[in-house]
Amino acid sequence: MTVKVAINGFGTIGKRVAEAVLKQDDMELVGVTKTRPDYLAKAASLRGLLYVPEEKLQDFEKSGIEVAGTLDELLRKVDVVVDATPGGIGKEYKKVYEKYGVKAIFQGGEKHEVAGFSFSTLCNYEEAHGKQYARVVSCNTTGLLRVLCTLHKEIGIEKVRATIVRRGADPHETKRGPINAIVPNPVTLPSHHGIDVRTVLDIDIATTAVVVPTTIMHLHVLNIVLKENVSKEKILEALEAAPRILVIPSEFSGIKDTAKIIEMARDMGRKRYDLNELAVFEESISVNGKELFLMQAVHQESIVVPENIDAIRALATNVSKEESIRKTDSTLGLVKTFDDVLKVISRFE
């Protein structure tokens, strides 16, 4: 079965999910929507994929950008819509999705209640089968859950305390900051990230967050109390066996910060230097009895893309979790180990 997909909101997340859908042999990208007639709208129009809300038709006509139809027309043609509009707007669109009986996947900027089900592949893929709505949790929550669900399943987690160092803006965002400050975010504790984790995984977790002047990645400092004493080897074994977690051997690789991780993605030839994998610094993993510390980096613009593709399958098909991960990760070219990274980089021309 081919799942017909629409993307409402062709921005940072939407354009990446659209490209990922195009790579799936069991999905068809029917169209994407734009509200502003800019270069991305023009590019989508050249592919015959551009749909716009009815009240915006005139703006596109004036700009000479040809549209394939209205958002309502697009929704009549599809099985699933991925809503990647700015946070809070998806809630308004839900009424339209309901009207056309189309399944919808929302993003982390929406509240859990909008979908009533928050999704993270490694944690709850199977529970999504047959649902009408799902919300792919935000980039930070996706990064946290990849590690936490893996360790909870393998060893068991008693308690998590974490600090999220958030990037100030995405690279294209001109009007955000800070430019020269570290901002408590929020100053009253805890931050929303731990609360968001609990919409998927019922564990004792509390998080704090600060925003810093960088655009490329978030960084998490995790302190996890496990249910039993562990060794560093056991943690490494669990993380290396899990999909979408890339352990970075900082010592010999020379990769000791987020700038170097992004340089690695550039050397790999990743489009827009995307890194769908969660990057865990091997050197940071330290264990004392049941207590584990580690640091990990999240490429905020791309980490949720594989989860969106899995969410489409989980809602609209009977494909198993393992098969969906296999299809998604192989089509998007995800790597499992640092040796795989080296193999990709060594293909330089």
166 binds ligand X15 (CB under 6 A): yes
Residue 140, annotated as binding a ligand: yes
Name the residue among 273, 245, 244 with its Cα closest to residue 261.
Answer: 273
Q: CA–CA separation, 254 vs 8, rounded Å? A: 40
34 binds ligand NDP (CB under 6 A): yes
Among 22, 26, 43, 89, binds ligand NDP (CB under 6 A): 89
Among 85, 207, 208, 328, binds ligand NDP (CB under 6 A): 85
Q: CA–CA separation, 239 vs 159, rounded Å? A: 18
Interface stretch with ligand X15, choices 63-71, 76-84, 136-144, 253-261 (CB under 6 A) = 136-144
Q: How far is the CB of 261 from ligand NDP (least distance, A)?
A: 16
124 binds ligand X15 (CB under 6 A): no
Q: What are phi and psi of 132, to 5 degrees?
A: -85, -35
User: Cα–Cα distances in Å, from 61 out to 40, 52, 58, 68?
Assistant: 16, 11, 5, 12
36 binds ligand NDP (CB under 6 A): yes
Q: CA–CA separation, 186 vs 48, rounded Å? A: 43
Partner that binds at residue 141, options ligand X15, ligand NDP, none, CB closer than 5 to 8 Å by kind: ligand X15
Interface stretch with ligand NDP, choices 80-88, 201-209, 246-254, 308-316 (CB under 6 A) = 80-88
User: Which segments of 36-160 does DSSP mark as H helices, in order?
Assistant: 39-46, 57-63, 71-77, 89-100, 112-115, 121-124, 139-154
Q: How far is the CB of 174 from ligand X15 (least distance, A)?
A: 14
Interface stretch with ligand NDP, choices 108-116, 277-285, 307-315, 336-344 (CB under 6 A) = 108-116
74 binds ligand NDP (CB under 6 A): no
Q: CA–CA separation, 286 vs 310, rounded Å? A: 32
Residues that are catalytic: 139
Calculate ∠ Cα 252-254-258, nearest 5°.
135
300 binds ligand X15 (CB under 6 A): yes
C-beta separation of 268 from 345 below 8 A: yes
User: Which segments of 248-346 does DSSP mark as H helices, in order?
Assistant: 250-253, 258-267, 305-316, 321-332, 338-345
- Which is closer to ligand X15, CB of 33 or CB of 141? 141
Q: List contacts with ligand NDP (CB under 6 A).
A: 8-14, 33-36, 38, 84-87, 89, 107-110, 138-139, 170, 300-301, 304
Residues at the annotated binding site for D-glyceraldehyde 3-phosphate?
138-140, 193-194
